Amino acid sequence: MLKLKYSKFKLECGTDEAGRGCLAGPVTAAAVILPNEFKNSILNDSKQLSKFKRDLLKPIIETEAIAFAFTHIYEEKIDEINILNASILAMQTSILQLNPKPEFIIVDGNRFKPLSDIQHKTIVKGDSKFLSIAAASVLAKTYRDAYMLKIHEEFPMYNWKQNKGYPTKEHREAIKKFGTTKYHRKSFKLLPEQLKLEL
């Protein structure tokens, strides 16, 4: 059973990201402040939920949350500052958009950078422990998937509507065959062969 709160603060926000391990597309984060009386029996870490359940939960979260926001950080920025910093930037940018401003932040994972004067706590597997982080994981995933669906229309040969930019065998085969697009993260190992040295 997921807990509602980690801290004693009324305005506690949960944050999480999606798409960190992808070869193409943005890393997307969301931040959510849930009301103290929030309850939902389906809500869980987005990776444990079907697409149907995520799509069902998205409007519920957005209607019932005190505040929510999401942010895409795109490939150029990921290549410039690296994926870890881009993930943290996406979470921070989402948190800064929240109104009211949160009094405490709980973060999925073990890495975060302090944000102004707001205390935070990193929680490994937080998306399967706390409702606000799970809610943020659902929003991050659904907004990112919608974006990947849109850019799939432009480059259907990579089948992003299916693989969402993750390094599937099919996605890598397409990169091998068609090369890269403006949406690919050039700082990532797009093909396993890049590891082999040409002697």
- Give the domain CATH number at 44: 3.30.420.10
Furthest-apart CA pair in the chain: how many Å? 63
- Quote the pLDDT of residue 195: 46
Q: In sequence order, which residues have a C-beta less than 8 Å from that of residue 1 and are 6 or more positions away?
A: none
Residue 124 lies in a domain: yes
In this structure, is residue 34 part of a structural domain? yes
pTM exceeding the 0.85 threshold for the entire prediction:
yes
The answer as to whether 143 is a domain residue is yes
SS3 58: helix
Residue 112 belongs to some domain of the structure:
yes
In a domain, 145, yes or no: yes
Specify if 1 maps to a domain: no
For residue 24, being part of any structural domain is answered with yes
pLDDT tens profile 9-62 = 999 999 999 999 999 999 999 999 999 999 999 999 888 999 999 999 999 999
Total number of domains constituting the chain:
1
Domain coverage including residue 27: 12-194
pLDDT band for position 191 (cuts 50, 70, 90): confident
Residue 49 in any domain: the answer is: yes
CA dihedral 20, 6, 62, 115 (to 10 degrees): -60
The 10s digit of each residue's pLDDT in 90-134 is 999 999 999 999 999 999 999 999 998 999 999 999 999 999 999
Q: Once rounded to an integer, what is the mean pLDDT over residues 133-140?
A: 97
% residues pLDDT > 90 (the chain): 90
